Structure 1
């Protein structure tokens, strides 16, 4: 395998020559060899892509990032969301509590892919976009990782879980009506009990699923609150004024979902 040399504050690291990730991602690969590679869910990776794109647009709008950098970061994020770089996120779920390695994995992939989109060769020449100074501008692992998880969870619940449970609920409701008058023996304590109809039995399952749907939907309001803009400890240090509200609005625009800035970012 061919390698290139990437550098961080701790020194040089050998990285596979054809991969977009950098030194910190490679260090994580070597330090956390636990379970299968790339066990970090792609839904979380896509959450990072949404928030990195939103951060670039917000940083540009607030005067701290150039238009060229905004557009390059956005283009790479769109490629990630299209599934074009799924193999560039090799990390496992076992890492530091703040998710720093996955945050840096996203930053490094975006910066290096942007370098190539500019017509450069991976690992050669000066990069226009820096993983920390540009892609991670106005952010911290402490607010990006929770934000990515909220985006991923909200999307999975509304796009997959709720529709699937509703389909199951509706199917059982049809069976309940169809078999409403079919009498059967009830069972309790491993013994025959008093009779009921098969339709009545199915109606109990329908009721359970309806309550489950209520519980799922009740989680959405809290999940719509995003930590992004709180940075390292919730104070929002190193962000331009108005950043938190603006970036949450951009994420809502890009996802089509009602995300908003969390009122309390110390949570």
Structure 2
């Protein structure tokens, strides 16, 4: 040992720790053991803030129930407040992928809080006889209750952020609905011409899709408020005072303003990770719909000369290293790719949840990593898609209207007025001759122009009869 290190010991022996490090020996061992993803805890700051909030609540609760003296409680609370204020996050050096069901993460938190608390109390880092990572910071706790509780706090934060970004995208779709209003375009089924619709209807449908997913995420978010603090190792509450679980939940409610409550069955709550599967499934649903919308936008903006060319999306960057003037739909493409990744994440989380054995699921770290990743990506997707694509979409209005008026599908609107047999004959004639339904009807004097124009007006062609009468 020299002046640049301090010596710490654990079950496996002694190690030298950098003297300026707030982490300790168990964090160092985990750092050396888990060099897997190279994604470190400090890259998910909300998780660190959530863990610090849980440890703060535990310290206050332990003091309230009489097992932690005030001086140590105050020092732990002050150290937690530093972490909540985004200080010392560089001390969280462990890989997000780790064995041990999150024990390494919990100990990284315990050690950083303990050493910062020792400083606050006027001691040196590592002088654990005054305040210990396990005996005091981890008092009345286990990784098996503090880790999932912190995970739920962090997920709640990420869900709230995602919901806000979804509102941005919904707003963009609704703004585009108002902007494009009753402008006609062809609707399609099977990639074939179907019947006319308006661009406003199309963008309103996109908004409705995202609203539905927002509602589902809001519903599953409520499940995150059930916690198992006080469960300790497997849910029996060993080493925790009997009044600690409810006291800790009460303190957590006060600190966060969120309705956290203690599970009725702590043994079930400690082993059951179905809430993460439910949340992941909703993220997959959102990704599925976002990717479908991106596909629709990309297809309808294909061209500019030989594609569908119904919409023009913003030109974001040159599209080719060899073809001058080419611009690609890069924003819809990146939305697709991110959504594919999130769909894969969902499979990983389902497998990890199913693989939990007996009284603990040891695979929560991979669920945490993937849920954080999915929530962050979806938030970024929604905002990017809205601001860098949807907001700037323009409609090729004259071209779209010409497609409607010359399209065989137009005959469907005439069917109630001319009958199925006559309408079929007109459609066949138009298809064989290349002429338009509109002109054939006028040439054969089946309807006068005023009546025909009224029938194929946007109001009469794209809304149900009952809606028109209303």
What is the deviation of 1:135?
0.4
Taking the aligned partners of 2:41 and 2:244, their CA distance within structure 1 comes to 32
What is the deviation of 1:259?
1.2
Alignment of 1:182-221 (within 5 A): 182-221=183-222
- CA deviation vs aligned residue, 1:15-68 (integer Å, no higher than 9, x gap): 222110001000000111112252462222211101100000000000000001
Structure 1 residues not aligned, in runs of 5+: none
Q: Check whether the contact 1:142–1:232 (CA below 8 A) recurs between aligned residues.
A: yes
Partner residue in 2 for 1:68: 71
CA 1:97–1:119 in structure 2 vs 1: closer, same or farther (change >3 Å)?
A: closer
Partner residue in 1 for 2:447: none
Q: Check whether the contact 1:138–1:231 (CA below 8 A) recurs between aligned residues.
A: yes
- Worse-superposed segment, 161-170 or 63-72: 161-170
Taking the aligned partners of 2:217 and 2:184, their CA distance within structure 1 comes to 33
Equivalent residue for 1:100, pick from 99, 103, 108 = 103
Partner residue in 2 for 1:255: 256
Q: Check whether the contact 2:174–2:203 (CA below 8 A) recurs between aligned residues.
A: yes
Q: Check whether the contact 1:115–1:127 (CA below 8 A) recurs between aligned residues.
A: no
Equivalent residue for 1:57, pick from 44, 54, 60 = 60
- CA deviation vs aligned residue, 1:113-157 (integer Å, no higher than 9, x gap): 11112222334x554211001000000011111101101011221
Q: Aligned pair count?
A: 265
Partner residue in 1 for 2:137: 135
Taking the aligned partners of 1:190 and 1:4, their CA distance within structure 2 comes to 69
Q: Check whether the contact 2:45–2:86 (CA below 8 A) recurs between aligned residues.
A: no
- Worse-superposed segment, 167-176 or 241-250: 167-176
Partner residue in 2 for 1:89: 92
Q: Check whether the contact 2:39–2:96 (CA below 8 A) recurs between aligned residues.
A: no
Partner residue in 2 for 1:236: 237
Taking the aligned partners of 2:18 and 2:196, their CA distance within structure 1 comes to 68
Partner residue in 2 for 1:165: 166
For 1:95, what is the secondary structure of its paired residue?
A: coil
For 1:46, what is the secondary structure of its paired residue?
A: helix
Taking the aligned partners of 1:53 and 1:121, their CA distance within structure 2 comes to 21
Taking the aligned partners of 2:4 and 2:139, their CA distance within structure 1 comes to 32
Runs (4+) of structure 1 exceeding 3 A deviation are: 187-193
Higher relative contact order (CA 8 A, sep 6+): 1
What is the deviation of 1:91?
0.7
Alignment of 1:168-183 (within 5 A): 168-183=169-184
Taking the aligned partners of 2:207 and 2:39, their CA distance within structure 1 comes to 40
Taking the aligned partners of 2:238 and 2:176, their CA distance within structure 1 comes to 57
Taking the aligned partners of 2:145 and 2:108, their CA distance within structure 1 comes to 15
For 1:185, what is the secondary structure of its paired residue?
A: strand
Partner residue in 2 for 1:12: 14
For 1:209, what is the secondary structure of its paired residue?
A: helix
Taking the aligned partners of 2:74 and 2:214, their CA distance within structure 1 comes to 40
- CA deviation vs aligned residue, 1:158-186 (integer Å, no higher than 9, x gap): 2x111111222122122213322011122
Structure having the higher Rg: 2
What is the deviation of 1:228?
1.0
Superposition TM-score, scaled by structure 1 size: 0.94
1:109 is the counterpart of 2:97: no
- Worse-superposed segment, 239-248 or 114-123: 114-123
For the aligned residue pairs, the C-alpha RMSD in angstroms reads 1.7
Partner residue in 1 for 2:149: 147
What is the deviation of 1:189?
3.5
Taking the aligned partners of 2:128 and 2:254, their CA distance within structure 1 comes to 33
Taking the aligned partners of 1:172 and 1:37, their CA distance within structure 2 comes to 35
